Structure 1
Amino acid sequence: METLIPILAAHTGATRMRGRFSPITSPFDVEAMRVFSFDLTTMLSSMLATGQQEFTPELWWAEDKAWVLWTDYDLMGTRVFGSDDLIDALGGSPDIETLDWRRVRLRPPSPPRPPSRMEMRFQELLAEQEAAKAQKQEAGGQDSTEG
């Protein structure tokens, strides 16, 4: 966290953060679900040094919503959601281990399917209607030039 916090601070205009701890003891623990505000630069010393918490909040974000973190203490990992610049800065840090979770297509897209008989018949009907409309307009245009 000591390496992560300065990078996060550089990618937000806010100094105050919002967060909430996971309700570990009970999913109905309303107090654990409470969203609270804290200062990013003193977060570790003020929150973790009290001995009440052994980990960072499960969810925390900058008040300007420039980024959000989701920490899963069971999996010992944190997901960071933010701008491309923030993600690049995290990936470029030699002290932070990162994984890139960008969408990857596992197989090439399927070729387009041939039209069904119903679709083909619909296209034929549209073409016939367009041809009849064009003939009618052409016939109407000849009558006005002859008169």
Structure 2
Amino acid sequence: MSLNLIGWIVLALIAGGILALAQRRLRESSSRDEQELDPPPVPAPARLAPEVFQSRIEALIDAGQTINAIKLYREQHGVGLKEAKDSVEALIAERHPFGREPSGPVDADADIEQALREDNLIEAIKLYKDRYGVGLKEAKDACDAMRRRLRG
């Protein structure tokens, strides 16, 4: 074997060792970076007593803070966003069947009924929406039901 060939073999072995070492260091540093990117585990919040939870969630609902009520529900029960949202919306519907408490005095919805008697459905829907804080569909459905009841 020639000296030239032996030199190339030694050089190839040294280069292979250097590449293997560099690859190992790269793998170690990337796993360290991944560990640093993971947030530290957050301790589970202490669960509230049922009566304390109920009073807090009712206060949030009454204050119109639905998002905070959903957050509190998720923390308390450890459920997903959709389940918490559905549960809080059910609580809202149970507490305020028309979406929210009426704004101002309600004279048995006399103004809405008067608008319906005058065949002014759009005005009745606007009044209902403003009074109860519901969506357009809910207000229309409620006004349609009122109109059917009025017509007998």
TM-score range for the pair, normalised by the shorter chain length: under 0.3
From the CA coordinates, give the structure whose radius of gyration is larger: 2
Higher helix share: 2
TM superposition score normalised by structure 2? 0.19
- In terms of fraction of residues, the more strand-rich structure is 1
Structure possessing the higher relative contact order (Cα contacts under 8 Å, 6 or more residues apart)? 1
